[in-house]
Amino acid sequence: MSGWTRRGFAGSLTRACLGAGTLAGALGVACGDGGRSGTGSTALSSTPGTAGTPRTAGFDWRRYAGQEIRLVYSGGRLEFYKTQVPEFERETGIKVQFDTPSSAPQLTLTEFIAGGSTIDGFVTNAPQDAVRYHRAKWYAPIDRLLADRSMTTPDTDLQDIFPGILSTAKVSGTDTLVGLPNESQVAIVYYNKQLFSKAGVPAPQPGKWTLQECEDYAKALHRAVEGVAGWSNRVAGSAFIIGYAKSLGRGWTNERGELTFNTPEHIQALDIYGRLLRLYGPDEARQGQSFNGDELFGRGGAAMHQEVNNRTARMAAVMDRIGYSTVPAGPRGAAPLAFSWSWAIYSGSKKQEAAWLWAQWITSKRLSLLGARQALLPSPRRSTYEDPEFKRNDPLPELTAVTMQSLQLPLAHGDWLPPVIDVPSARTALDQAVVRVIKGESARVVADEVTRELRTIQERT
């Protein structure tokens, strides 16, 4: 990456996204989907990587030599894994059978429901899976492995993982860890420096600007006649709406611990979210229709755009005009969505310890840094971005700084879905609630109705 310009980097990112389908981007500038789409079943037997097993004095990586583990994965890190599996096999003596179906989550769920699965390790999206998987006891408890110093290398170091990312590997509302995070995504705000300068509007101050300032800026920058929206965000807002509520002081429950979305904070969150898009979003948003916010911002059609930090490659045309900021803060602070897929172990596996070695190895400090350096994969670890070589060759230091700042915010959170088993129904209910408020319905009325719907979903499962 040494010597790359911002435009050159953008071009390389775009080619990477359109080509091999790998996750590409410095600190999350990516195009993969983290585990939902793969390349079909394959055996991983590519050329060896160069990282080697993380060397820790006194730790025995070969204690399970001769065993074979079955791992299930599909997603943006597949090509990087291909280059690293042979090295893992040589260093540990463990043979890896790597299944890469079109949908790893669907395969694991199908096998776990049927029973008798031979899966040892798999990737999990804990906010989406954990309530169901934990209740069904499909996750192997890793607390015992973490507590066993003979089984856990110091390089695993959970303190090195951003807290918001680590929270995405836990059962919602608990401290129960179900896996080790392998990436980092976080919600940020992209803004067009040129449009801000032209309008004489001050740039958003990362970590300092507020929801009120966000609305003021959106109003000042909105130029409907010129085809420029002041604000862009997801119309189907189920992933982001809880962050607005958290910034106002409320999560998924009320004072009695009941699942709810109709406290004053929830109502205000819906009102702010809906009002920003209704008054200052593109025409499609006002009609409650989804639109491609990345494309809109990428052609200069929006002054600000809230999304996760892996979208810069899709905005190459305005690369030289992009500024980055944390999401705006409410009275309790800024509360960005943080996200990662995590390596988990199946409770029915007879080779849990061998699978645990893989999970530690592939998410270690050394391999996380190697992935960021060689394949531009977004690391979940602070140590990656503090590495001197990474800093010297970072093509987007402003994005890196804002991402690190966002991931370290006290309210950065991974519980972006309510604690229910029927997640698809809950997401649909929340999406529809947000759309109704965008279109002008009463936030209070909508909040009461979606709360009843969420509780019904929770009770029937």
Q: What is the pLDDT of residue 57?
A: 61
Distance of CA 121 to the CA centre of its chain: 20
Give the 3-state DSSP-derived string for the chain, with helices as H, strands as E and coil as C: CCCCCHHHHHHHHHHHHHCCCCCCCCCCCCCCCCCCCCCCCCCCCCCCCCCCCCCCCCCCCCCCCCCEEEEECCCCCHHHHHHHHHHHHHHHCCEEEEECCCCHHHHHHHHHHHCCCCCCEEEECHHHHHHHHHHHCCECCCHHHHHCCCCCCHHHCHHHECHHHHHHHECCCCCCECCEECCCEEEEEEEEHHHHHHHCCCCCCCCCCEHHHHHHHHHHHCEHHHCEECCECCCCCCCCHHHHHHHHCCCCECCCCCECCCCHHHHHHHHHHHHHHHHHCCHHHHCCCCCCHHHHHHCCCECEEEEECCCHHHHHHHHHHEEEECCCEECCECCCEEECCEEEEECCCCCHHHHHHHHHHHCCHHHHHHHHHHHCCCCCEHHHHHCHHHHHHCCCHHHHHHHHHHHCCCCCECCCCCCCCCHHHHHHHHHHHHHHHHCCCCHHHHHHHHHHHHHHHHHHC
All structural domains of the chain, each given as residue ranges with its CATH number in brackets, are: 33-183+341-386 (3.40.190.10), 185-337+413-460 (3.40.190.10)
Q: What is the pLDDT of residue 25?
A: 40
Q: Which residues of the chain fall short of a pLDDT of 50? A: 1-51
Tens-place pLDDT, residues 283-320: 999 999 999 999 999 999 999 999 999 888 889 889 99
